[in-house]
Amino acid sequence: MTSTAEEFLIDSENKSFDINHRRIINYNINKYDTAVDRGLSRIINLENAKRRGHVLKWKMMENLDKVLPEFEANFQKRGGKVIWANDAAEANKEILSIIQKAGAKMIVKSKSMVTEEIELNEFLEHHGVESIETDLGEYIIQLLGQKPYHIVTPAMHLSKEDIAKLFHERFGTPIDSTPEQLTQKARELLREKYVTAEVGITGGNFLIADTGSIALSENEGNARLSTSFPKIHIAVVGIEKIIPSLTDLDLYWPMLATHGTGQNLTVYNTVLSGPRQPDEVDGPEEMYVILLDNGRTNLLAQKEQRQGLYCIRCGACLNGCPVYKNIGGHAYNTSYSGPIGSIITPHLKGMEEFKHLSYASSLCGKCTEVCPVKIDIHKILLLNRRDAVKDGYAPTTEKWGWFAWKKGMLSRKLEDFFSGSTKNKLLKTFFKKSWGHYKAMPHVAPKSFTEQWKERHQNQE
């Protein structure tokens, strides 16, 4: 059976040498870079904004046991219901219970990475409930039976020709349809779903402690439709999304939008504080917020790495990462790809199985440079590597190889005893497989340093 790490190497190699994939991803990320550079230039003091965002998130993570109950109390005051879920199984069970109690057979769902994390669509399908993605990018990859490629733009790996071909095969639209025509077709297909679904499911960009609200950011309006038409709204949100106050959105909304897409603000920004009130004309009759742990407290317990929980899911580190731009999002085999996925996944899903992601980095530091909340990503990658070795997860051949290297480096006699050719053979034996067959191994000189020194010294005399 192929391990997760072995699958990663195979998929990474395939994608790295897929010229068409690299053409599409580089084209799309270049467009992103242009928009973001323009957007960031409008922020007067970017560094100060980043520092403020970092400190506020630090304060929340250090006081999570106080601010989450504050959110819960304020949300319940307006008739909302809070459900705490320790893991994906608990979250899915609670969601299914609500759906079954309502007698619903179909739900509409806006874009949400946390529902991808708990594999909600697959779970509901298994229990006879149809789950319809309403974000255009998510809808496209759902039709293809794929997972999101990117945290912000799930269909980034597809060209407009790929999407036109998909719609032509599924819905009979012209093969040369424009993006505008394809969007119009998706709108026609989804409108009926909004008005017939009894349950709408969303994520949440932020949990607001002092008002007991969730904040949603989007560009298509599908989240508003998913939370307005259905009688029941369920928001699934990670416990780390908490921020102190409604007024803090003046920082986080622009920073999320600018780093995510280059916009000043996303088109639709919504604050929801519970179900429909007696004096309101629209909105759901019931609203639930499911607060998901699913390994987050494992990361919270790591004092040096817990700042990974500060992430606001803008995707900037993915777009800046040279590794991501070559291997793409699907190779990571996890909901959160790229640098941020590499630092949090080993703690959310297990270091033993996902330690390899923290090694999938050039350590260039671009991810840390672009992060809007100043997460020290490349440092955490090194800390995760340290922990993987300390916990005994390094391959046996690698352990023996480094043991021999250390012994040799600490002894001049041993260094001189083995010839250069012997050392080259040892490198190939112990490290060639673990370092990858495309990586050129370092070449040891035929003569030792002592021999070379003596020769040069004699020549000088």
pLDDT exceeding 90 applies to what percent of the chain? 82
Q: pLDDT by residue (tens digit) across 97-132?
A: 999 999 999 999 999 999 999 999 999 999 999 999
Q: Which residue has the higher pLDDT, 5 or 293?
A: 293
Average pLDDT for 289-293: 98
pLDDT for position 221: 94
Question: Quick check: is 348 in a domain?
Answer: no
Q: What is the predicted pLDDT for the residue at 333?
A: 94
CA–CA gap between residue 249 and residue 265 (Å, rounded)? 11
Is the Cβ–Cβ distance between 259 and 36 less than 8 Å? Answer: yes
Task: Please tell me the predicted confidence (pLDDT) of residue 418.
Answer: 76
DSSP code at position 364? -
Is residue 230 within 8 A of residue 108, CB to CB? The reply is: yes
One-letter amino acid at 172 equals G
How far is residue 405 CA from its own chain's centroid?
Answer: 37
Residues 222 and 101 in one domain: yes
User: Does the structure show a pLDDT above 80 at 378?
Assistant: yes
Task: Please give the pLDDT value at position 459.
Answer: 61
Which of 259, 279, 294 delimits the end of a domain? 294
At 434 the pLDDT is: 67
405: in domain: yes
Do 268 and 402 share a domain, yes or no?
no
How far is CA 218 from each of CA 8, 102, 292, 329, rounded to the nearest angstrom?
31, 27, 21, 21
The arithmetic mean of pLDDT across residues 434-442, rounded, is: 73
Rounded to the nearest integer, the mean pLDDT of the chain is 93
Residue 436 clears pLDDT 90, i.e. is over it = no
CATH of the domain at 240: 3.40.50.10420
Do 276 and 401 share a domain, yes or no?
Answer: no
Are 84 and 198 within one domain?
A: yes
pLDDT value of position 241: 98
Whether 350 maps to a domain, the answer reads no
Which of helix, strand or coil describes residue 365? coil
Q: What is the pLDDT of residue 290?
A: 98
* Final residue belonging to a domain, choices 248, 277, 294: 294
Same domain assignment for residues 290 and 422:
no
For residue 460, the model assigns a pLDDT of: 61
Residue 13 has pLDDT above 70, yes or no: yes
Number of domain units in the chain: 2
216-267: per-residue pLDDT in tens?
A: 999 999 999 999 999 999 999 999 999 999 999 999 999 999 999 999 999 9
Of 256, 277, 294, the residue that ends a domain is 294
Among 132-146, 405-419, 426-440, name the most confident range. Answer: 132-146
User: Residue 461 pLDDT > 60, yes or no?
Assistant: no
Residue 135 lies inside a defined structural domain of this protein: yes
Q: Look at residue 51 in the predicted model and tell me its pLDDT.
A: 98
pLDDT of residue 455: 85
Mean of the pLDDT values across residues 298-310?
96
Residue 376 lies in a domain: no
168 is a domain residue: yes
Query: Is residue 100 located within the same domain as residue 245?
Result: yes
CA distance 294 to 93: 14
Tens-digit pLDDT profile for residues 18-31: 999 999 999 999 99
DSSP structure string for 232-285: EEEEEEEGGGEES-GGGHHHHHHHHHHHHHS-SS-SEEEEE-SS--TT-SSS-S
- pLDDT tens sequence across 43-98: 999 999 999 999 999 999 999 999 999 999 999 999 999 999 999 999 999 999 99
Q: Are residues 287 and 404 in the same domain?
A: no
Neighbour tally for 333: CB within 10 Å: 18
Dig out the tokens for 303 from the structure.
């004092």
Tokens at residue 85, please?
């879920």
Q: Which residues pair with 218 in a beta bridge?
A: 268
- pLDDT the model gives residue 150: 96
What are the tens digits of pLDDT across the range 172-204? 999 999 999 999 999 999 999 999 999 999 999
**Angle ∠(298,349,212) on CA atoms, nearest 5:** 55
| Domain presence at residue 365 | no
φ/ψ (deg, to 5) at 333: 60, 40
Q: Which amino acid is at 195?
A: V
Its domain, for residue 238, covers 43-294
Q: Does some domain include residue 303? A: no
